Amino acid sequence: MTTPSSPTSPASSGLTDAAPPGCPAHTGASLGAGGLRRLYGSEADEDLAGVYEKLRAEHGPVAPALIHNDVRVWAVLGHSENLHMVRTPSQYTRDSRVWSAVKNGTAGPDHPLAPVFTWQPMCSFVEGAEHQRLRGAVTGAMAGLDHRGIRRHINRYSNKLLNGICEKGEADLVGQFAEHLPMMVMLHVLGMPEDYSDRMVQAARDMIKGTETAIASNAYVMEALTRHVVRRRAQPEEDFTSALIAQPQQLTDDEMAEHLRLVLIAAYEATANLIANVLRMVLTDPRFRAQLSGGQMTVPEAVEQSLWDEPPFSAMVGYFAKQDTQLGGQQIKAGDGLLLGIQPGNVDPVVRPDLSANMQGNRSHLAFSGGPHECPGQDIGRAIADTGVDALLMRLPDVELSVAESELAWRSSILSRHLVSLPVTFGKRPPQDVSARPMAQVPAPRKNWEVSSPLPEALEPSAAPAPQPVPTAPAAAPEPVRRKGAWRRFLEWWRGY
């Protein structure tokens, strides 16, 4: 455990000391300034989770470490330490303007992670009354969303994407499914035309990857959102944008565009990652194959397990200390930066002594963070993943990975780790009516998928309208996956099939 007086202690040496950016003596080595471990560079690119475990073994639940340009942070690795940090706004804030590395310029606007920590006037970066005002507007607008209607659209867009691949017998489920579905759904939620989808996916990818066109892509997204706000102020419709405009908090045009971008981009990236991870799990994890495990893992359970094992955001930069304090045995100084360690917190041996144990029914993972900033869109993210994966398995019940699992490539950074592609094969089949219920087609459905799934609690209707009859399948339709009970038929109706 680091002590305040040890040579590697950020408390003694000042958390914001930095090596010269790009210094050849440092770049690529796993140890940087002050002998601290780097969370970037070759070792971290290969196995960041392994670096976190070394840090945990060396320092305990809160460890000093380096992010790009050797800027020092406290990596919060413990589950309860992360929760304490996010739930204690009197000591820790998301307002990066208090970070000493920002104040002294070592984490300046040219820092590779600047897009995620640079302060902006939106709910993610503010606290107290201003946070309540901005977040209250977002959650107020979300409260009016028709979740059943959204599920119906998720199903429709899933079918549309599947129509684009079903005749080919092979696909990359990351590039052709997971990366498109959340954007199509979120554009619909915002009330924007579907035509934006491909360009928006391209722009969002650019912005997230920080390519040289990232600034132009950000400008494109902001212009499109600003135009959309102007249109909806003039002519409100039944969508999230109009609801956000109508909130009593009276967001300005800039605040409107900022929050629409936050919702669109955060939702896009996280949910695309989640779908890809769940699909990989479904294709490779024996727990999903009922006959092998003796138990059955439903799609929502696979989603939850994936949120534990492969959280869509692995860490966030971050939280900042407002005052001198202690966390996990470390002395934290006012102005220090702390990394919200979502992935390391989720595998903290204190809460998960056996990583292979099924986390069924346990939603206390850190994937959506916690405290005042806890993700307000988690039920929408879960709904997109559940419904999209469900629809895919219904349409392509014989889908198989076309490469060995060990050949799958990942792209990783401090912020997230995601699959580069997920190549699969399946029997060729004709497209379907996009508004129809996904229908298993020849070849015969695989018997060991368990695609029937309980509703996530928060989307369960408190006053559900009476179930309507499920439209019967056309006479020539192939056998459904299995005989359905009333509950399953209700679920299908609920999902909009």
Chain residues binding ligand HEM by CB under 6 A are: 86, 94, 123-124, 135, 138, 262-263, 266-267, 270-271, 274, 312-313, 316, 367-369, 373, 375-378, 380-381
Q: Would you say 167 or 237 has its CB closer to ligand HEM? A: 237
The residue whose Cβ lies closest to ligand HEM is 377
User: For ligand HEM, which is the closer residue by CB, 270 or 396?
Assistant: 270
CB 203, min distance to ligand HEM, A:
17
Question: CA separation (Å) from 166 to 175, 399, 402, 492?
Answer: 15, 11, 15, 22
Question: If 0-12 CB within 10 Å is exposed, 13-18 middle and 19+ buried, where does residue 143 land?
Answer: exposed
Residue 165, burial from CB neighbour count under 10 angstroms (0-12, 13-18, 19+): buried
Angle at 171 between CA 200 and CA 149, to 5 degrees: 50
* Residue 253, both tokens: 């045009």
Sign of the Cα torsion 348, 349, 355, 361 reads negative
Nearest to 287 by CA among 273, 271, 275, 298: 298
Cβ distance to ligand HEM smaller for residue 368 or 497? 368
The least CB distance from residue 412 to ligand HEM, in Å, is 16
Specify the residue, 101 or 316, whose C-beta has the smaller distance to ligand HEM: 316
CB of residue 94 to ligand HEM, shortest distance in Å: 6
Instruction: Let me know how long the chain is.
Output: 497
Q: Which two tokens stand for residue 394?
A: 């219904």
SS3 of 144, please? coil
Of 95 and 450, which CB lies nearer to ligand HEM in the complex structure? 95
**Closest distance to ligand HEM from the beta carbon of 41 (Å):** 24
Cα atoms found within 13 Å of the Cα of residue 119, Cβ hemisphere only: 14
Q: Write down the least CB distance from residue 73 to ligand HEM, Å.
A: 15
* Rounded least distance, CB 317 to ligand HEM, Å: 11
166 Cβ contact partners less than 8 Å away, ≥ 6 residues apart: 395, 396, 426, 428, 429, 430, 431, 432
Nearer to ligand HEM, 79 or 373 (CB): 373
Measured from the CB of residue 151, what is the shortest distance to ligand HEM in angstroms? 13
Kindly tell me which of 36 and 75 has the beta carbon lying closer to ligand HEM: 75
Q: How far apart are CA 33 and CA 28, in angstroms?
A: 12
